[in-house]
């Protein structure tokens, strides 16, 4: 794995939240590749073997190439965690089985995004190796052929390199705040 990407992962991965790994990770990767009839991109395979099934630290976000319908005004999106070869709810094999009927063989889910959306890696043709955001409110395309995949990065390594510390500003309008005081409290 690229040394710079490994250093970046060490900064963004929350090492305090550990997801137990399954034995024989290579066999799981072979199963996934057989299921899709592809070889997974090498940078992603290396990630699965070393980090898969991990959570991202709070306030570590990325800026996608294409904004999604849910990208905030500040342009930064976030993820909860990466699916991996694990014995938990983040087991990539069970996630694949859940979404394969909807996503088909073009992309494969690799991480969860806010609100039930997915981060996916492209597997075939023009999608191969690229990272996409799938907006789950729709299927993969509409009647006119518009796709609901939004390009995040041109490779897995580029995706990881896009992460940085970003704290969302919370704009509070004081006119929107209402206070209700208990009458008993006012008697004292």
Domains: count for the chain: 1
pLDDT digits (tens, 9 = 90+) for 76-116: 999 999 999 987 888 999 999 999 888 888 899 999 997 88
- For the whole model, what pTM was predicted? 0.84
Q: Considering only CA atoms, which of 144, 102, 103 is closest in space to residue 124? A: 103
Cα–Cα distance measured from residue 188 to residue 186, given in angstroms and rounded to the nearest whole number: 6
Contact by Cβ (8 Å): 93, 112:
no
Separation of alpha carbons 85 and 92, rounded Å: 6
CB 111, CB 77: distance < 8 Å: no
Q: What is the pLDDT of residues 24-64, one digit of tens each?
A: 889 999 999 998 888 999 999 999 998 878 999 999 999 99
Give 67's pLDDT tier (boundaries 50, 70, 90): very high
| Cα–Cα distance for residue pair 128/131, rounded to 1 Å | 9
How far CA 115 is from CA of 39, 69, 77, 161, in Å, comes to 30, 12, 12, 23
Cα distance between residue 171 and residue 154, in whole Å: 33
Domain of 71, in residue numbers: 3-187
**CA atoms within 13 A of residue 55's CA, in its CB half-sphere:** 13
End-to-end Cα distance, the chain:
66
Q: 23: pLDDT confidence band, cut at 50, 70 and 90?
A: confident
- The enclosing domain of 110 has a CATH number of 3.40.1580.10
């Amino acid at each position: 794995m690229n040394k710079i990407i490994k250093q970046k992962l060490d900064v963004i991965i929350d090492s305090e939240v550990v997801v137990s790994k399954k034995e024989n990770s290579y066999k799981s990767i072979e199963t996934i590749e057989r299921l899709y009839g592809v070889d997974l991109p090498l940078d992603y395979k290396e990630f699965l073997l070393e980090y898969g099934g991990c959570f991202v630290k709070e306030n570590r976000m990325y800026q996608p190439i294409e904004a999604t319908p849910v990208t905030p005004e500040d342009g930064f999106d976030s993820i909860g965690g990466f699916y991996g070869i694990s014995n938990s709810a983040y087991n990539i094999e069970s996630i694949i089985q859940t979404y394969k009927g909807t996503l088909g063989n073009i992309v494969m889910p690799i991480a969860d995004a806010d609100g039930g959306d997915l981060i996916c890696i492209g597997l075939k043709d023009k999608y191969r190796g690229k990272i996409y955001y799938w907006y789950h409110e729709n299927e993969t395309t509409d009647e006119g052929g518009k796709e609901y995949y939004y390009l995040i990065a041109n490779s897995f390594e580029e995706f990881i390199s896009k992460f940085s510390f970003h704290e969302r500003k919370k704009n509070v309008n004081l006119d929107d705040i209402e206070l209700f005081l208990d009458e008993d409290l006012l008697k004292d």
